Amino acid sequence: MNLLSRILPPSNIVLDIAVTSKKRAFEQASLLFENHHGISRTAIFQSLIARERLGSTALGHEVAVPHGRIKDLKDPIGAFMRLAEPIRFDASDGRSARLLFFLLVPEHATQIHLDLLAEIARQMSDSTLRHELEIESDPVVIHQLLTTSVGNDSHAEHP
């Protein structure tokens, strides 16, 4: 079990969606959160865009973690989206992004927000896991990879 297991329901895994830009990806994620969780798509979209204006949320290796704070949200919620084709994401390594983790947190969340971002970054530093996420066709298996993976936790420093 990991932090993602608490915030990433299987219904929030979307594979091989065709979008042509970061804006279109944000629109699709906003619709998903609105349809599955009743959160205003406009609020989500505006939050994601506002955060992205501060600097790219791309991690490199075709991975990005767009995230935003949502007023009146009680608990963090996440989604994973694999794009049919990579899109430009202004990554520091100059690459596009294809594996997108969307993270919405309460307006005043602090440590949990940072812990979730750190966990995703730690997982995505594992090239084997990234490869599995790129080729796996079953959303249930993708969910299991993301929420039960303990192998990459062994690389983390523990106090």
Among all residues, which ones are annotated catalytic?
67
Kindly state the DSSP code that residue 152 receives in the 8-state scheme: G
| Measured distance CA(26)–CA(32) in Å, rounded | 10
Residue with tokens 């767009």: 66
Backbone φ and ψ for 58, nearest 5 degrees, come out as -70, 140
| H or E element that contains 16 | strand 13-17
112 burial class (0-12, 13-18, 19+ CB within 10 angstroms)? middle
Residues 126 and 151 sit within 8 Å (Cβ to Cβ): yes
